Amino acid sequence: MEEARFYAQCIVSKSTANQYADALEQAPWPEAMSVTWFETYDESQEWDLRVYYEFKPKTDELNKLFTEAGLKPLDINIIALDENTNWVAESLTALAPIQAGRFFLHGKHDAHKCPTSAIGLEIDANLAFGTGHHGTTKGCLIALDKLLKVGAFHKPIDLGTGTGLLAIATAKVLKTRVLATDIDPVATQITRENATINNVQNLITPITAKGFNHLELRDNAPYDLIIANILAKPLTTMAVEIKKNITNNGSLILSGLLATQANWVSSYFKAQGFQEIDRNIIDDWATLIFRT
């Protein structure tokens, strides 16, 4: 894996942070390795935006990306990282804790902030997707909280688990075994580590697999709760396979899609007999809830 050597830092308003971050994240060049933004914890309502690169970017190149996106140029600092710096951890250390329904997501350094009434989820910076600060992961946590309040599930599975966050949240509430799959072996290893950190290692089974293409996944089907936080296109291609592996009256949470893609993705699952019962939109990202 390439290593970040520099990061660009700028201060943006809370209302425009997501727009500036999108302009940097979606640019083909300079190619960002990680983009984060977080509150500066003062009265100004300003956010600290940082984007990490393998090569030193030019400030005029970055500001050109902003102007092309209809945004104002910013004062940008380019900072070199020490070669011994864990840049993934560096990029996420300052992220504030997140409350999503009953769930309180935090890093190790913020564990003391977890309310006694909340379900704590400790996920620190690492090489897998899913810290909960992205609109898709937070949307899934909120959807999951809603479903777990009204339904009893016995065979859940988290497809595209990333850090294992959603599988861990499910296990903490249901106290039952959760299969957590990902195509990336790094993600399944991180899921195993995070399950131990959150004291649910005996309930989480990480499996490296594409979709349901694994003997253990097929043997345990059908599932009464499927969570798939992936991307819009792969979700549409998985609609038939997901339908084959879910129980009657099963529940399905989908995310990883933009709000503008929600109806398109939903149509594929409705064609398989799923009924959309709810959706939420967070920072232009959609999370859909279905029932068979």
Among 82-91, 144-153, 193-202, the range scoring the smallest mean pLDDT is 82-91
The CATH architecture to which 6-92 belongs is 2-Layer Sandwich (3.30)
Domain at 132-291, CATH homologous superfamily? Vaccinia Virus protein VP39 (3.40.50.150)
Residue pLDDT, tens place only, 207-217: 999 889 899 99
Share of the chain above pLDDT 70, in %: 87
CA distance 146 to 289: 10
pLDDT for residue 253: 97
Residues near 136 by beta carbon (within 8 Å), at least 6 away in sequence? 229, 255, 256, 257, 282, 285, 287
CA distance 21 to 37: 8
- Length of the chain in terms of residues written: 292
Among 94-98, 212-216, 231-235, 258-262, the range scoring the smallest mean pLDDT is 94-98
For residue 43, pLDDT over 70 is answered with no
CA distance 2 to 33: 9
- Mean pLDDT, rounded, for 145-169: 92
Q: How confident is the model at residue 263 (pLDDT cuts 50, 70, 90)?
A: very high
Share of the chain above pLDDT 90, in %: 53
CB 241 within 8 A of CB 159: no
CA distance 101 to 95: 18
Common-topology check for domains 6-92 and 132-291: no
CA distance 223 to 231: 21
- Mean pLDDT, rounded, for 91-116: 78
Sorted by where each begins, the domain ranges of the chain are 6-92, 132-291
For residue 173, pLDDT over 80 is answered with yes
Higher model confidence: residue 255 or residue 37? 255
CA distance 192 to 79: 34
CA distance 74 to 48: 12
| Rg of the chain on CA atoms, in Å | 19
Instruction: List, in sequence order, every residue forming a beta bridge with 8; answer none if it has no partner.
Output: 51, 78
CA distance 257 to 254: 8
pLDDT for residue 162: 84
Which pTM does this prediction carry?
0.70
